[in-house]
Structure 1
Amino acid sequence: MSFEVLSYEGLVHAVSGAMGSVTAMTVFFPLDTARLRLQVDEKRKATSTPTILAEIIKEEGLLAPYRGWFPVICSLCCSNFVYFYCFHSLKSSWLKGQRSAPNTDLKLGIIAGVINVLVTTPLWVVNTRLKLQGSKFHNTDIHPTNYQGIIDAFVQIIGNEGVGALWNGTFPSLLLVLNPAIQFMIYEGLKRQLRKGVPRELASVEVFMIGAVAKAVATTVTYPLQTIQSILRFGQFNKSANKSKMLSSFMAVKCLLVNRVRKFGILGLFKGLEAKLLQTVMTAALMFLLYEKIASCTFRVMGLSNHTR
């Protein structure tokens, strides 16, 4: 198999995926804010999405649910561009015009996910810090930060915590490549079932529904690791939960999972899942819809057929 580094089809998919994800995330961004607060601020009593959003607006202002929008959008744009480009370029090179299968989609999704994690984790660490900066936490163990923007956050994190801190949460992130891999496997499989071997453009409602189903399954299965990933990216774990800086990535994840279960029970691993499902399922469904339409229109305008779809 030869990987096409410069692939026109891969570029179309990458741009379409990035544009679709940015638009969808902007629409449902407050739900992501609610999810992140529920994951990180352990002592907050609010447990439902409407309640915590009402609390945030009351305590921090009307625009608080959109705090950190710009760094998140920048990270998401880069992340989805890398993922879509790698996935579809790998798929084109691997299949060479042949029909795909679920196990192939899963393997390619994992490979694309690993590349994406290693390249974009620093962006996600910074955007998590900026998104939570200025928030009114109910957990007094959380220390405030003072970043002036994306560049300043990079400089301060490297200066105060070392370059390695930019890859906080990489281990659970690598495990979480299963999330988009499972999502794409289910999405591509459902798409093949709806077409039943007959090439056709799916209706908007069909794309929206299979995108929602695929993301709902992937999110529920991997949510406990997503919670640990958020805590590690926030960078407060080493200061409050464990004073040792010598913990391995595996031990850090294990320790956080065990502590979470001890404090809140098994359901504590799924704290914020309601907000996450609302946000991620609707965002993914809208993203896939926009992605399919943008890619389809682009290929149609250029007079090309999309061989990897």
Structure 2
Amino acid sequence: MSNAVVNGIAGAGGGIIAQIITYPLQTVNTRQQTERVAKKDSSVISPAGSTLVQIFQVIKNEGLGGLYSGLKPSLLGTAASQGIYYSFYQAFKNKAEVIAAENKRKGRGDGSPGMLSWLIVAALAGSVNVLLTNPIWVLVTRMQTHTQAERKIMEAKREALIKEASRNVLSHSSLSDQLAAFDSIKPRPYGTFQAVGEVYNESGIAGFWKGIIPTLIMVCNPSIQFMIYESLLKHLRTKRAVIKQGSKNITALEIFIVGALAKLGATVSTYPLLVVKSRLQAKQEIGGNVALRYSGTLDAITKMIRYEGLKSFYKGMSTKIVQSVFAASVLFMVKEELVKAFTLLSDKSLKKLPKVVK
């Protein structure tokens, strides 16, 4: 089995485990990113303002299942994304290492890829991954934010009824009855097929690639992440080789810490793009306010600045840092251990094969 396939399988396994562990934080973070609060209301504490508060609100209103909305397509997306990403990443990495070794023979470099090479390798792998898996993440975002979007729509209808009553269009008893009816309505069941239908009815096939521009730009996130990751690993191995007289083994704890540092740097630098992507992929018809609907990336950026201010690009960042850093640490640690296990099994299998007598 090639090392590209091994890394793809290991990456998928690590990604699934990390996703299951951190999914509630991811759900809350997506809702934080897509929560719209106008500048004039910025003094009001948003439900998205506190991660713990929002977690308890979701449990209270939707049960524990609310924290796992969209988990099934998300696990599929994680397996597909990590499998595709690590397979292509390893394949491109192998090519980069061959080029670096060839350059060394020609008297250029030390035989190992430099930072620019890691950036290019990760960017290429990330672009392939994004183009193939974006539809899955559109559905996941819809499912994570469905209840929030429904609440916004109901709030808008409620406000419209109150305005009608203030103009004496509705009687007090009729208003009370209709408000009571609104308050008793529970969010509709919303699964993968409902999300598929909603996306298609809104925008057709193109709707499944909403947010593709900021997502493609965001390939710089794993590029930055892997640049830091590979550079730190290279430094550790070099240092370890000197201290332990040739041994370059890295422990699972060290992989965990290196993965955390790499993801932290990447997340902080690219978070605004992630918020824009989530806004574009979430349900757009939230109430009747045109400020809450985006036709594209530039429209979203312009309206977020105009109506909510620059701080809207950093909504939920603390939650994302905790979720993504922990998830990346678990992913890297599990992936490396799985690669070691695959390699060990492969070596044992080879040793059991009968030797060919020449």
For normalisation by structure 1, the TM-score amounts to 0.86
Which residue of the other structure, out of 36, 44, 52, is the alignment partner of 1:42? 36
1:161 paired with 2:203, answer: yes
Encode CA deviations 1:80-104: one digit per residue, 9 max, x unaligned.
Answer: 1111111101111232264222111
Give the distance between the partners of 1:55 and 1:136, measured in 2 at CA.
Answer: 15
| CA deviation string 1:205-249 (max 9, x = no partner) | 11111100110110111101100100111141798546999x5xx
Paired amino acid for 2:130: V
Matched with 1:84 is 86
Could you tell me which runs of 5 or more consecutive residues in structure 2 were left unpaired when the two chains were aligned: 38-45, 102-110, 158-185, 242-246, 349-358
Given the alignment of the two structures, is residue 196 of structure 1 paired with residue 238 of structure 2, yes or no?
yes
CA–CA distance in structure 2, aligned partners of residues 200 and 255 of structure 1: 50
SS of 2:64's equivalent in the other structure is coil
**Looking at both structures, which has the greater relative contact order when contacts are Cα pairs under 8 Å and sequence separation is at least 6?**
1
Residues 93-104 of structure 1 aligned to structure 2 (within 5 Å): 93-96=95-98, 98-104=111-117
Give 3-state SS (helix, strand or coil) of 1:196's partner: helix
Residue identity (%): 28
**Aligned counterpart for 2:266 among listed residues 207, 214, 218:** 218
Q: Secondary structure at the match of 2:343?
A: helix
Counterpart of 1:3 in structure 2 is: none
Q: How does 1:1-309 map to 2 (within 5 A)?
A: 8-43=2-37, 44-96=46-98, 98-135=111-148, 139-140=152-153, 149-196=191-238, 198=241, 200-236=248-284, 240-241=289-290, 252-303=296-347
Corresponding letter in the other structure for 2:323: Q
Are the structure 2 counterparts of residues 156 and 269 from structure 1 closer, same or farther at C-alpha, using a change threshold of 3 Å? closer
Letter in 1 for 2:218: L
Query: Taking structure 1 as reference, are residues 136 and 268 closer, same or farther at Cα in structure 2, changes over 3 Å only?
Result: closer
Alpha-carbon offset, residue 135 of structure 1 = 4.2
Deviation of 1:147 after TM superposition, in Å, equals 7.5
Secondary structure of residue in 2 paired with 1:163? helix
Q: CA RMSD in A?
A: 2.7
CA distance in 2 between partners of 1:146 and 1:26 (Å):
25
Instruction: Output the CA distance in 2 between the equivalents of 1:240 and 1:33.
Output: 24
Larger Rg: 2
Q: Which moved more, 1:57-66 or 1:224-233?
A: 57-66
**Which 5+ residue runs of structure 1 have no aligned equivalent?**
1-6, 305-309
Q: CA deviation at 1:158?
A: 2.7
Q: Is the 8 A contact 1:109 1:180 kept in 2?
A: yes
Q: Answer yes or no: is the 8 Å Cα contact 1:13–1:88 preserved in 2.
A: yes
Q: Residue 46 and residue 170 in structure 1: after superposition, are their counterparts in 2 closer, same or farther (change >3 A)?
A: closer
CA distance in 2, matches of 1:148, 1:56: 15
Given the two structures, how large is their TM-score scaled by the length of structure 2? 0.75
